[in-house]
Chains A and B, each alone.
Chain A
Amino acid sequence: MDPLTILSFLFHLIFVDPMTNVLVALARVFGGNFGVAIIVFTLVMKVITWPLTSSQYKQSRAMQAIQPQMQELQKKYKGKDPKKLQAETMALYKEAGVNPLGCIFPMLAQFPIWIALYQVIRLALGGSPESLVTLSQRLYPLPFVHTAVPFNHVLLFWDLGQSDTTLILPILVAATMYVQQKLITPTPSAGASAQSQQQQQTAQMMTWMMPLMFGFWSLNVPAGLALYWFVSNLSGIVLQYFYMGRKVNWKSMLQFGPATAPAPAAKIRADRAVEEKPKSAKEGRPAAAESAPDVDSEGQPMNALLKSERNARRKQHGRRRGKR
């Protein structure tokens, strides 16, 4: 058996088959309506993946908080001591509890779910009789799921097994993804270094590139998968709203380009940190934890949760240093 076959077998065993049976069972519970099953499934998945999602939010906010320190490090070492810059950057990440991969992992973790869901929808709602034959082989030998066929694959005006030709779902997916990305991504500050601005612009680019890509995919994939993305995004926005302590600058949603106004508070505080603060753990490195501003790069107050987390880390760090 070739490795690809084994991989495919395992993928079906771990993801596709359980998901197929869960969705079929949910559809059975909700009167055979696969659309309602997808919505409920999405919300359940959101709860299950909440630890990953909240980690993504934390990482995003923490990354945002250390931007001034990052800029200072780059100013100080760029072109002079690349090795040192690299080491100090990594140390800054460590001290601030930032994992550069932290924002990516939750998204990566969802890939198999998307692909599996795509396959489940193809099987259950693809509309071809062949797919139903295949579906029969994937159902667990439980009467509850075995007798669930046929499904109602229409929700409102969408045939969930076909791509949405009304454009409504693609637009909803793109719009909700934009809002979600905007909530995660810090707005670039004009006062940042060229290097940092480039990074921020890349992040900003993602805020519209992701919605465009997902909107485009939603045109081509079965509407059931687009429905999953839409409900997932929408629930993500709601969760993030509460996670951020209901402090969301909705006006910033309409800010498509880089910010034109400087972010003096963050910049000044960061500058002071370099000039005034004594060198901490290592010589030449700003004391990231101590100098982290209480405002973000826009000059906005940081959310309470992040501050409390950092305070906790600070205490932990202090205890470790005390022990040493």
Chain B
Amino acid sequence: MTSPAHHTRSPRRLPVIALAALALLAAACGAPPSPGGWAPALPVKVGSADLVLVTHKSHVYALPDQSSNATWQFPPKDKTGYPVSESAGAALNAEIARLNLDATATSSLKTKVADLHVSGPSITALKDAISATSASDADRSKLKSAVDSITKFESGALGKIQAIYGDIGLSPDKKTAFVAGFKGVLFALDTTNGRLRWLRDDSPDGIVGGIATDDGTIYYGTKGKHVFALDAATGVQKWQFNTKGEVWATPTLSSDTVYVSSLDGSLYALDKSGGQRWRFSGAGSGVAAKPVVSGDAVYIGAFDSKLYSVKTSDGSLNWSLKGDNWFWATPVVSGGTVYAAALDGKVYAVDVATGAARWDRPFNAGEAVRSGPVIAGGGLIVAARNGRVFKLDLATGKASDASPVVLVNTKILADLTTDATGKTVYIVPDSATLYTLDAENLGLPGNVPLPQ
């Protein structure tokens, strides 16, 4: 039998119970999901090896074709830390050279610098070696401070990558890959071994877009409303351009112009010294899609659910196409047609010149499409967010009989890419896996788990 005391006390206990329930519910809600990244896979030929650079969260993997045994990964598995960047090593060596030590001491210090990692005993070893030199107290102290400063900066910066969304940039000689982390850390890697060449920390400005490269310069935009051009070899800034809104897309390079879309609803055309040629600000909302240049037009999708065609000459509007939700996927232009997927789950095909529909009706994938489609195997390969991959007839927009290929329990948000032959499509879902799809026949996709 319940005691009366229990009954009279129960109203007072109820707040405690209610709060406990709230705590449980709050726990059920969990922390906000951490950004996962959606960088597309990048096939690259390094020497004689065919590698695919794939990212998952804060890691970059260089996978040999169809194999999950990574040639290298960055940051490396080494628990004692990874070597400091080449540029940091060079800076320390320059400091050592300024001390005018004898050849033996200099050589000893440079050997230690070559072994220097961002953490672990190598730091102490180098500082001990510096202490043993005949340099003045002030010089030794200065050099030790430089060691501390460099190792602390590089260790801390790489701990802030968090996720990678944008395209990986590749130097024209394919020896360096440029990767932008969501928290604002940008780094250059040697594609042969994954060794860090240099890094730059733009935090607290984040980077959602990727890196565009040409000879000797890389270009990217940040959430801090900036566009930067850096020296590709050293990471030293060449110029900066300020936009009115955050930049979430990889800039597009075409001849001597850098096209940058921005969440301020604009498309900026910049010359390669950072000057503004023109600005198209006709979008009714933010622009987060990567611009695509073809002929004398540049195509951008916007959050006002429209796809725009803008003249490259002066930024004036050619035409616009209205969808039922945001255009975020990178459009594809081929054979006089623009293929653009939207978050309404539809794929639109329109004439490049007029914006008139090419298909009877847009293809409906039944789920939001954020991934940029690719043309491969004679069709348009489209991946919906829910893991369903379609091959569409370019002329009619009808899905092939083999469609859809379903990647179970995955979300696909990264742009699709193809290998050099255009026969294999690379799909990077949110799971730690790289899928490879035969663009001709579709069929069962190859499944390459990423190293844990």
Contacts and interface: CB of A to CB of B under 8 A. Distances in A.
Interface in A106-123: 107-108, 111, 114-115, 118-119, 122
A86 interface: yes
A126 B14 contact: no
B32 A126 contact: yes
A78 B5 contact: yes
A146 B325 contact: yes
A147 B285 contact: yes
Given A133-B343, A148-B285, A103 B4 contact: no
Interface stretch (A194-202, A239-247, A288-296, A310-318): A194-202
B29 A133 contact: no
B409 interface: no
A15 interface: no
A64 to B, nearest CB: 13
Contacts of B248: 129
Contacts of B200: none
Contacts of A127: 35, 206
Contact of B304 (A77, A130, A133, A146): A146
A227 B93 CA distance: 51
Contacts of B417: none
Interface string A175-213: 000000000000000000001001100110010011001
9 contacts: A63-B11, A129-B38, A133-B343, A136-B368, A147-B284, A149-B303, A150-B285, A217-B26, A222-B32
A100 B370 contact: no
Contacts of A147: 284-285, 303-305
B3 interface: yes
The range of chain A's interface size is: 35 or more
Given A108-B18, A147-B303, A203 B12 contact: yes
A110 to B, nearest CB: 9
Interface in B69-127: none
Given A104-B15, A146-B305, A147-B304, A70 B8 contact: yes
Contacts of A198: 9
A303 interface: no
B23 interface: yes
B8 A195 contact: yes
A68 B248 CA distance: 66
B8 A199 contact: yes
- Mostly, the A contact residues are helix
A261 interface: no
Interface of B: 1, 3-5, 7-16, 18-19, 21-23, 25-26, 29, 31-36, 38, 163, 165, 206, 208, 245-246, 248, 263, 284-286, 288, 303-305, 324-326, 328, 343, 368, 370, 385, 413
A100 to B, nearest CB: 4
Given A108-B18, A122-B33, A136 B413 contact: no
Interface in A142-173: 143, 146-150, 161
Interface of A: 63, 70, 74, 77-78, 82-83, 85-86, 89, 100-101, 103-104, 107-108, 111, 114-115, 118-119, 122, 126-131, 133, 136-137, 141, 143, 146-150, 161, 195, 198-199, 202-203, 206, 209-210, 213, 217, 220-222
Given A128-B35, A136-B343, A213-B23, A82 B3 contact: yes
A150 B34 contact: no
A222 B31 CA distance: 9
A137 to B, nearest CB: 6
B121 to A, nearest CB: 34
A202 B343 CA distance: 52
Given A133-B413, A146-B325, A128 B34 contact: yes
B264 to A, nearest CB: 9
Nearest to A221: B26
B4 A150 contact: no
Contacts of B33: 122, 126, 128, 130-131
Contacts of B21: 111
Nearest to A88: B4
Contacts of A107: 15, 18
Contact of A195 (B5, B29, B208): B5
B88 to A, nearest CB: 29
Nearest to A209: B19
Contacts of B245: 150
A133 B14 contact: no
Contacts of B263: 149-150
B35 A129 contact: yes
Most buried by A among B12, B208, B328: B12
B18 A104 contact: yes
Contacts of B38: 129-130
Given A122-B33, A149-B285, A222-B32, A137 B13 contact: no
Contacts of A222: 32
Contacts of B5: 78, 82, 195
A139 to B, nearest CB: 8
Nearest to B206: A127
B8 A150 contact: no
Contacts of B343: 133, 136-137
A85 B18 CA distance: 26
B368 A115 contact: no
Given A104-B14, A115-B29, 6 more contacts: A103-B15, A133-B368, A137-B368, A150-B263, A210-B19, A213-B19
B4 A83 contact: yes
Given A129-B165, A213-B19, A222-B32, A101 B4 contact: no
B15 A89 contact: no
Contacts of A100: 10-11, 14
Nearest to A82: B4
A206 B413 contact: no
A150 B18 contact: no
Nearest to B264: A150
